[in-house]
Amino acid sequence: AQSVTQPDIHITVSEGASLELRCNYSYGATPYLFWYVQSPGQGLQLLLKYFSGDTLVQGIKGFEAEFKRSQSSFNLRKPSVHWSDAAEYFCAVGEGRTGGFKTIFGAGTRLFVKA
């Protein structure tokens, strides 16, 4: 069965510092991988996605993620965090097949940004 693990419940970084949020997945085939961001009291917004090709994926708001098949990981990174990045981040894995539609979400990592 598919699963997604985000080992960090919350992370605190200083504004301007670099960020890496960890994500590990379990999936038998080539996964479709996503990172979503959720601001307090809001819905989720897609940051980036990986389906195939280049394993380093660029997203919105200066985020990037790298797919590492050997480690079953899809970590999210940003070189310099802004205060507005404080939010909850969800890694997700989707069924990589035609007609597949179910997505499994991790438990989320809450990011706190200190001045």
Partner 1 sequence: SQTIHQWPATLVQPVGSPLSLECTVEGTSNPNLYWYRQAAGRGLQLLFYSVGIGQISSEVPQNLSASRPQDRQFILSSKKLLLSDSGFYLCAWSVSRTTNNEQFFGPGTRLTVL
Interacting residue ranges for partner 1, rule: CB under 8 A: 32, 34, 36, 41-46, 49, 51, 90, 94-103, 105-108
Q: Which is nearer to partner 1, 11 or 15 (CB)?
A: 11
72 Ramachandran zone, left/alpha/beta (phi>0; psi -120 to 50): left
Q: Which is nearer to partner 1, 70 or 107 (CB)?
A: 107
**Beta carbon of residue 60, minimum distance to partner 1 (angstroms, whole number):** 13
Q: 95 and 25 in contact (C-beta within 8 Å)?
A: no
**Beta carbon of residue 31, minimum distance to partner 1 (angstroms, whole number):** 10
Beta bridge partners of 58: 64
- Pick from 85, 79, 90, 89: nearest CA to 113: 85
**Beta carbon of residue 16, minimum distance to partner 1 (angstroms, whole number):** 28
Q: Which is nearer to partner 1, 43 or 70 (CB)?
A: 43
- Pick from 35, 51, 27: nearest CA to 89: 35
Q: Which is nearer to partner 1, 40 or 70 (CB)?
A: 40
